[in-house]
Amino acid sequence: MDVLHTQTTAESHQSQQRTCENCGEYVTKQFVRVFGANDGSVYGCMNCLTGRDLREGAGTQPSD
Ligand SMILES: [Zn+2]
C-alpha cells in the first residue's frame, strides 16, 4: 500500500480545487480536509448537502 505516499504527493502537488464526488461542484482543499474522507474525497458539499449534514459526517462517505 502506498496510500500515504500518494496522498502526500497529491497534497503538495494539488493545491488547487477538488470536486464534490456527489454533484461535481468545486470545493476547496480545506473544505475536503474538514468535511471529507481521509483519502481526500468528499461526498457532499454546500451545493448538495446542508451544513448540518456535513457536520454530521455526510461528506465522508458515499450516500446510498
Ligand atoms: Zn456536492
Please state, in angstroms and rounded to a whole number, the distance separating the CA atoms of residues 17 and 53.
21
pTM of the model: 0.70
- CA 35 to ligand 1 center in whole angstroms: 11
Spans of all domains in the chain = 3-60
- CA 14 to ligand 1 center in whole angstroms: 19
Return per-residue pLDDT of the chain as tens, 64 residues: 665 555 555 554 555 679 999 999 999 999 999 999 999 999 999 999 999 999 999 999 997 7
- CA 13 to ligand 1 center in whole angstroms: 23
Q: 46: exposed, middle or buried (C-beta count within 10 Å: 0-12, 13-18, 19+)?
A: middle
- CA 59 to ligand 1 center in whole angstroms: 9
